[in-house]
């Protein structure tokens, strides 16, 4: 670390002490007072990235001079799995002070309601095989507004760096010389699992967990061998439309057809559902129950620990499910 740039831990974050000295408590920068949410004052760190040198490992972009001193900042913000109460404090504060909010379709009205009256809200909702704005257009949109001097919140469901294309948008802003800050969010996997009381790891059941995307190019060519099975949990994002193919792929890779799976639909929201079946029945169950996105699929013995409805197809199937779950190691 450069001489004279003392740092210390404060509030769990490593920040330049000189920046903390320059930004008074309760202010987000030297020029403006920080917002208050629910009566709480926040000691912001927006000015820190502008004070730090380009060579700092914590510098979020190429430097403020690249796009001009009046350029705004792009904040890649995770909106969490849906429930506004699960936003981070940092995310809520940035939403409440944004000039522009570019949001995904999975960001609900409860989250967007936190935006200030004067903010411009731009939807770039994406659905399977149909994007209202292509990714290149989103990248250009962020850069355009930031160069015009606006602070832009790019609001994404879950976490921006877990199947959220946050890395692509970060790179585009860096190339344009735009300052970027990434604000993590509760991922869909963690939020939906918690809402169903489903531990993704458990000392007696699973010591490893893997996240994969079920709606990506070349699904059949991807090697998932070893990602699911005894002692492991596999969480599949965006897998509803390809549930049949996913089940076939996992069984072809050697996973037992009677492996428990649970589908978590609209997790953390009032209309959430947790539907459990066996791997061989996954595709059929998705069709029978008319499961819709957003949903994640959890494959592995931990599925037996979830607060879920058993949907194997009929009463006999439900009894079979109970027998299988009781016989699984760690679930007796």
Indicate the DSSP class of residue 101: E
Is 104 a known active-site residue?
A: yes
Tell me the backbone φ, ψ of residue 235, rounded to 5 degrees.
Answer: -110, 125
d(CA 251, CA 211): 18
On whether the CB atoms of residues 297 and 263 are closer than 8 A, the answer is yes
Tell me the backbone φ, ψ of residue 115, rounded to 5 degrees.
Answer: -70, 145
What is the 3-class SS of 286-297, one letter each residue? Answer: HHHCCCCCCEEE
Around Cβ 182, how many Cβ atoms within 10 Å?
Answer: 19
Q: Which one of 3, 70, 99, 126 is the catalytic residue?
A: 126
Tell me the backbone φ, ψ of residue 96, rounded to 5 degrees.
Answer: -70, -10
Indicate the DSSP class of residue 302: G
In sequence order, what are the residues at sequence separation of 6 or more whose Cβ sits closer than 8 angstroms to the Cβ of residue 181?
A: 46, 49, 60, 73, 74, 75, 76
On the 0-12 / 13-18 / 19+ scale of CB atoms within 10 A, 2 is exposed
d(CA 38, CA 76): 23
Is 99 a known active-site residue?
A: no
Per DSSP, the chain holds a count of helices (H) and strands (E) of 10, 17
Q: Which one of 99, 104, 159, 310 is the catalytic residue?
A: 104
With vertex at residue 112, the alpha carbon angle to CA 307 and CA 125, rounded to the nearest 5 degrees, is 80
Helix (H) or strand (E) holding 277: strand 273-278
Tell me the backbone φ, ψ of residue 183, rounded to 5 degrees.
Answer: -115, 110
Q: Of 317, 252, 332, which is closest to residue 285 (Cα–Cα)?
A: 317
Dihedral sign (CA 155, 160, 165, 166): positive
Residues classed as catalytic: 104, 126
């Amino acid at each position: 670390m450069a001489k004279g740039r003392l740092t210390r831990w404060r509030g769990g974050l490593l920040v330049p002490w000189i920046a903390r000295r320059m930004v008074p408590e309760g202010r987000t920068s030297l020029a403006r007072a920080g917002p208050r949410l629910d009566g709480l004052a926040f000691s912001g760190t927006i000015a820190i990235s502008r004070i730090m040198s380009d060579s700092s490992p914590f510098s979020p972009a190429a430097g403020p001079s690249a796009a001009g001193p009046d350029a705004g900042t792009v904040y890649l913000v995770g909106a969490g799995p849906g429930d506004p109460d699960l936003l981070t404090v940092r995310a809520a504060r940035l939403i409440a002070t944004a000039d522009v909010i570019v949001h995904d379709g999975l960001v609900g009205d409860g989250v967007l309601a936190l935006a200030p009256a004067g903010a411009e809200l731009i939807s770039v909702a994406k659905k399977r095989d149909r994007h209202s704005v292509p990714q290149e257009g989103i990248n250009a949109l962020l850069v355009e507004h930031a160069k015009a001097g606006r602070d832009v919140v790019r609001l994404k469901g879950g976490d921006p760096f877990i199947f959220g294309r946050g890395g692509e948008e970060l790179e585009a802003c860096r190339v344009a010389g735009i300052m970027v800050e990434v604000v993590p969010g509760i991922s869909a996997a963690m939020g939906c699992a918690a809402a169903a009381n489903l531990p993704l790891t458990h000392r007696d059941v699973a010591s490893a967990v893997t996240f994969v995307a079920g709606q990506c190019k070349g699904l059949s060519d991807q090697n998932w061998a070893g990602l699911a099975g005894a002692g492991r949990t596999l969480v599949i994002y965006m897998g509803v439309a390809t549930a049949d193919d996913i089940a076939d792929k996992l069984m072809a890779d050697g996973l037992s057809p009677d492996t428990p799976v649970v589908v978590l639909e609209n997790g953390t929201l009032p209309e959430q559902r947790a539907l459990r079946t066996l791997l061989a029945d996954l595709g059929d169950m998705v069709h029978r129950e008319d499961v819709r996105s957003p949903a994640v699929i959890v494959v592995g013995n931990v599925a037996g620990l979830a607060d879920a409805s058993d949907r194997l197809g009929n009463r006999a199937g439900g009894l079979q499910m109970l027998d299988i779950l009781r016989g699984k190691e760690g679930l007796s």
